[in-house]
Amino acid sequence: AEEMLIRSEKMSIAGQLAAGIAHEIRNPLTSLRGFIQLLQAGMDNKQEYYKIMMDEIEKINTITSELLFISKPMTDEKNIENVKDMLTDVVTLLKTQAQLFNIELSLVVDHDISIHCDRSQMKQVFINLVKNAIEEMSDGGNIELRISQKENSCVIDVKDEGPGIPKHLLHKLKEPFFTTKKHGTGLGLMISNQIIENHHGHLEITSDVKKGSTFSIRLPIS
Ligand code: ADP
Ligand code: MG
């Protein structure tokens, strides 16, 4: 996959995705074929095989649902939206999942700002970032969402107390299919970055391997 991504630097994002999808879906398919052959040969540990096969199918399923999200036409449904309102929705949506891991989601509003954006796309970005933070904090802690203003930009920080990201991996995070998770797709940050850039914004990632990471979104104020 490494080599493929380097070679694909000159390819369009669509080309990169196509190459990645082919690769990512072929692995679970190959594995499924292998297990069906084992079952045909009449092996005993059927229940174990079924479980692995379900996992492989789930993997393909997750990839396809994330791709369906990208392939949706970019409906330009941009309106003036209050950032605190959107983040409050996201906190409500993810609070229960966070509590399961002893994680507190806190929302800090330095400046109450509205921006011109597609509400559902922007919420998708916040959900992706908060979910990633939750997934890195299995030991609990605090995730802080902060809204502030810097010059003519609205800044939304998602700050976690997870393990942090080693410097040499930082530049890979926005690449499609980069994941360190067993059941990850590596598409969340690529999609989020795409949405932010479509809103003329920027996603900056800073991390301290001991203290945690901050994903900082900067968007123009209308
Ligand atoms: P996925 O969540 O499916 O792995 P993403 O694109 O959302 O895909 O994230 C890509 C990778 O970036 C993750 O697998 C993880 O290694 C890293 N990452 C993302 N968010 C964080 C975070 N808050 N802390 C540490 N690592 C992170
Ligand atoms: Mg993710």
Calculate ∠ Cα 201-203-206, nearest 5°: 150
201 vs 28, 156, 158, 170, CA distance in Å?
A: 36, 11, 15, 19
129 half-sphere exposure, CB direction, 13 A CA radius? 31
* ipTM for the predicted complex: 0.99
pTM metric for this prediction: 0.79
The dihedral region occupied by 164, where left means phi > 0, alpha psi between -120 and 50, and beta the remainder, is left
Q: What is the pLDDT of residue 27?
A: 87
- Lowest-pLDDT range of 43-52, 74-83, 144-153: 74-83
DSSP string, 10-73: GS-HHHHHHHHHHHHHHHHHHHHHHHHHHHHTT-S-HHHHHHHHHHHHHHHHHHHHHHHHHHS-
Dist. CA 40 → ligand 1 center (Å): 38
Q: Give percent of the chain with pLDDT exceeding 70.
A: 89
Distance CA 129, CA 152 (A): 23
Distance CA 203, CA 189 (A): 9
Q: Is the pLDDT of residue 173 over 90?
A: yes
Q: What is the pLDDT of residue 8?
A: 44
**Which residue has a Cα nearest atom 19 of ligand 1?**
132
Q: Is the pLDDT of residue 107 over 60?
A: yes
Q: How confident is the model at residue 10 (pLDDT cuts 50, 70, 90)?
A: very low
Q: What is the pLDDT of residue 43?
A: 83
**Which residue has a Cα nearest atom 12 of ligand 1?**
173
**Which residue has a Cα nearest atom 11 of ligand 1?**
179
Task: Show the ligand 1 pocket: residues with CB < 6 angstroms.
Answer: 128, 132-133, 136, 160, 162, 165, 173, 178-181, 184-190, 213
pLDDT in tens, 50-101: 999 999 998 888 888 777 766 666 666 899 999 999 999 999 889 988 999 9
